[in-house]
């Protein structure tokens, strides 16, 4: 199988090259020339399902896929099912936060370092790799944990200085590792993400060094996330909630459109997915796009209680536009117009295809807090603010009759990453700092993920903060200098 750029026209890149590069030279995102038929996957074991998906989408790894899946997931997740499906009321919640940093990004970022090293070995590439990553909260700590002490790879993470929760920030700035660097940006996630893309576009690294990405712009980040859609479906069948072949709806809190696009790939690969629900917060650019066909980032980005969704430029939407249009020139034109004018309009025929699969809705901070409180009171189940946004949108669509059948809400992070929001929702007096997760756990009698404990006592190892305009110079300096 070969890969090509969304803005190109030819499929002439191997999976190995696509994973190592992260982003195409023309600024586009890599997509496979075809989506293999995976309708025969049973999805009963996470490790076996991951192996089959990796082998199908990245055939160069076929002989290594089983060992790779085992090394990525066995012993690194606190739940034996890796991503368990939990009944909550009449719906189900797919818990994706049992990994090393308590967020769904762990599912992909436990595998991506293994794939990158295997790709280097297969291609004979001896260049050192510098991973550049922008994070809206959870990608940063997951990428740092995944690439920590990986030989031949360094990683530099940029995060919005005041745009993540205190626990998320503490996870990153206290992370130790000789090959890790974390830097705050005086701005929002879009500033950090745009800065990283500009570095890819304009920076020519010195000989012996290559740039790559751990964001979901890297196809190696996206493909492993297909796994939990298949295993969730199988769990519903085992639990008797559906019959094999029945369609299932997945409700996904999303900002950068990566997690939900993995569900779209699963649907195209043959999983019986009914609707994919794009749940937004107050930064509802995706909701407006799905409803109107106009993608318009010309609005102020709002800082919310669900910071991983505080995004106005959703990178992975570019891949969806490619899958419905198969028109690289159209994609390139849209992305250029977005860059220069801040918006683009998608033709009606493409939007009709998108709306066949995607529903949408949005959730304010207040509505999210209400959802957290109600689900806790009714079901004694604690949801983080991103999951709460998805739950609220799910209930709204159910009540209007637009979401019949079995519904699965994706829970993208542990609620203990956001103790301040939990305290607001439940009426608790709690300081919102790095120690609050443990105090919240004690108050509620719930276990706290190990990775979120003891953060207050750890030394701050990464203190750099820069303006977005200085990101290129910062990368140039760090690429050749000391950490």
Which tokens sit at 345? 């309009």
With a CB cutoff of 8 Å and minimum separation 6, the contacts of 329 are: 9
Pairing of strands 180-185, 85-88: unpaired
For residue 287, indicate whether it is catalytic: no
**CB of 198 within 8 A of CB of 207?**
no
Strands (E), 121-216: 128-134, 153-160, 180-185, 209-213
| CA 320/CA 322 separation, integer angstroms | 5
Mention every residue, 6+ apart, whose C-beta is less than 8 A from residue 263.
226, 229, 250, 252, 273, 276
Closest CA to 389 of 289, 302, 308, 474: 308
Nearest to 468 by CA among 197, 138, 201, 194: 194
Dump the DSSP string for 35-64: ----TT-----HHHHHHHHHHHHSGGGTTT
Alpha-carbon distance of 329 to 326, in angstroms, equals 9
φ, ψ (nearest 5 deg) of residue 126: -105, 0
How far is the C-alpha of 91 from the C-alpha of 400, rounded, in Å? 16
> To which H or E segment does residue 19 belong?
helix 15-21
Pairing type for strands 85-88 and 91-95 reads antiparallel
Strand-pairing partners, residue 156, are: 132, 181
| Tally of CB atoms within 10 A around 154 | 20
Per DSSP, the three-state class of 463 is coil
Cα–Cα distance between 472 and 111 in angstroms, integer?
28
Under 8 Å between Cβ of 142 and 102:
no
Q: Token match 């809206």: residue?
A: 136
Rounded alpha-carbon distances, angstroms, from residue 475 to 130, 199, 201: 10, 8, 13
459 and 154 in contact (C-beta within 8 Å)? no
Selected catalytic residue, list 42, 105, 275, 287: 105
Give phi and psi for 354, each to the nearest 5.
-60, -45
Any idea which residue has 């993920």 for tokens?
449
Q: Which of 457, 460, 441, 459 is nearest to 449 (CA)?
A: 441
Q: List residues with catalytic annotation.
A: 105
């Amino acid at each position: 199988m070969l890969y090509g750029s969304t803005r190109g026209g030819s499929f002439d890149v191997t999976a190995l090259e696509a994973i190592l590069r992260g982003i195409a030279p023309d600024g586009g995102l890599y997509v496979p020339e075809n989506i293999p038929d995976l309708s025969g996957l049973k999805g009963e074991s996470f490790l076996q399902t991951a192996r089959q998906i990796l082998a199908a989408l990245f055939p160069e790894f076929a002989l290594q896929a089983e060992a790779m899946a085992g090394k990525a997931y066995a012993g690194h997740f606190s739940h034996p099912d890796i991503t368990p499906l939990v009944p909550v009321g009449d719906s189900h919640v797919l818990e994706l936060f049992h990994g090393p940093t308590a967020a769904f990004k762990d599912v992909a970022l436990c595998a991506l370092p293994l794939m990158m090293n295997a790709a280097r070995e297969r291609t004979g590439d001896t260049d050192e790799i510098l991973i550049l990553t922008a994070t809206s909260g959870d990608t940063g700590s997951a990428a740092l944990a995944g690439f920590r002490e990986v030989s031949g790879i360094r990683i530099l993470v940029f995060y919005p200085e005041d745009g993540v929760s205190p626990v998320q920030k503490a996870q990153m700035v206290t992370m130790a590792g000789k090959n890790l660097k974390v830097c705050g940006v005086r701005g929002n996630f879009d500033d950090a993400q745009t800065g990283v893309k500009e570095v890819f576009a304009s920076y020519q690294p010195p000989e012996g060094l290559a740039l790559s990405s751990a964001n979901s712009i890297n196809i190696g980040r996206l493909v492993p996330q297909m796994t939990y859609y298949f295993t969730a479906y199988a769990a519903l069948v085992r639990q008797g909630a559906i019959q094999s072949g029945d369609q299932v709806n997945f409700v996904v809190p999303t900002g950068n459109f990566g997690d939900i696009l993995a569900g779209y790939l699963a649907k195209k690969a043959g999983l019986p997915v009914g609707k994919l629900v794009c749940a937004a917060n107050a930064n509802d650019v995706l909701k407006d796009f799905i409803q109107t066909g106009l993608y318009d980032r010309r609005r102020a980005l709002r800082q919310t209680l669900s910071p991983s969704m505080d995004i106005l430029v959703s990178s992975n939407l570019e891949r969806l536009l490619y899958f419905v249009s198969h028109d690289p020139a159209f994609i390139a034109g849209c992305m250029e117009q977005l860059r220069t004018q801040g918006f683009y309009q998608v033709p009606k025929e493409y939007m009709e295809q998108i709306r066949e699969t995607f529903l949408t809705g949005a959730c304010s901070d207040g509505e999210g807090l209400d959802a957290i409180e109600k689900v806790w009171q009714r079901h004694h189940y604690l949801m983080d603010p991103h999951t709460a946004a998805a739950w609220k949108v799910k209930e709204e669509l159910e009540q209007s009759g637009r979401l019949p059948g079995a519904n699965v809400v994706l829970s993208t992070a542990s609620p203990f990453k956001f103790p301040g929001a939990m305290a607001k929702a439940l009426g608790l007096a709690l300081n919102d700092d790095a120690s609050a997760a443990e105090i919240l756990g004690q108050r509620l009698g719930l276990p706290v993920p190990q990775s979120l404990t003891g953060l207050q006592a750890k030394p701050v190892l990464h203190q750099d903060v820069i303006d977005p305009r200085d990101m290129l110079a910062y990368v140039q300096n760090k690429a050749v200098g000391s950490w």
